[in-house]
Amino acid sequence: ETGVTQTPRHLVMGMTNKKSLKCEQHLGHNAMYWYKQSAKKPLELMFVYNFKEQTENNSVPSRFSPECPNSSHLFLHLHTLQPEDSALYLCASSQVQARRNTEAFFGQGTRLTVV
Amino acid sequence: GESVGLHLPTLSVQEGDNSIINCAYSNSASDYFIWYKQESGKGPQFIIDIRSNMDKRQGQRVTVLLNKTVKHLSLQIAATQPGDSAVYFCAENNAGNMLTFGGGTRLMVKP
């Protein structure tokens, strides 16, 4: 539907678990992003990857570890999370050309609950 | 929407009326702006964009107005329909390819 697919859609994990969120974009874009959307804050940018290289880490705690093996796939590895990390995690992609940005396309998100 | 815990400003309109959603942005160097719509349980969906060299852009039933002097962006929806009920976010691109999002406005359409 959106060209950006996220799995799983819902995830419940304990604070000692390790889990990974997956994102795949079918749009041929060269940039991918992780955003966090919580009940208490607006959309927050977490990580930016341009041409598979991480170009931005927006002061995100190390318990969140991104991985971008190629320009179509993006992962967010989760380890020893806290209950306040419960949120909707959104992946997005866009096409960046000659420093001229275009709209970001979002996936449906993964609803994460940390217990 | 997913920002249900936030104190979102809410706009309530009658079906068929026009809606105007406003947004103030923070960075005078921002050169690209986007409006997104987010329905409950879904990710944000692109509606319309505008670059800083324009002050108005029209789409299908939507118009975006940009006033750089006062750093203000608005989204106008003509003949609002129940399916337009959602949370609307403005976003500004002010550094490289990073978008900064506003807090959102909830639009409620009364049949």
Are the CB atoms for A71 and A30 separated by under 8 Å? yes
Residues A27 and A106: their CA atoms lie apart, in Å, by 11
Peptide bond into A8 cis (omega under 30): yes
pLDDT exceeds 90 at position A63: yes
**Collapsing DSSP states into helix, strand and coil, what is residue B82?**
helix
Q: Which of A115, A24, A13 is nearest to A68 (CA)?
A: A24
Range of weakest confidence among A15-19, A75-79, A93-97, B85-89: A93-97
Mean of pLDDT over chain B: 90
B104 has a chain A CB within 8 A of its CB: yes
B1 has a chain A CB within 8 A of its CB: no
Are the CB atoms for B4 and A39 separated by under 8 Å? yes
Residues B103 and B88: their CA atoms lie apart, in Å, by 9
Question: Measured between CA atoms, how close is A60 to chain B, in angstroms?
Answer: 15
Looking at residues A22-39, what average pLDDT do you find?
A: 94
Residues B69 and B54: their CA atoms lie apart, in Å, by 13
Residue % of chain A over a pLDDT of 70: 96
Question: Which residues touch B31 (CB under 8 Å, ≥6 apart)?
Answer: B51, B52, B93, B94
B87 has a chain A CB within 8 A of its CB: no
Residues A65 and A62: their CA atoms lie apart, in Å, by 6
Contact flag B6-A48 (C-beta cutoff 8 Å): no
Nearest to B49 among A92, A103, A107 (CB): A103
Residue B89 confidence (pLDDT): 94
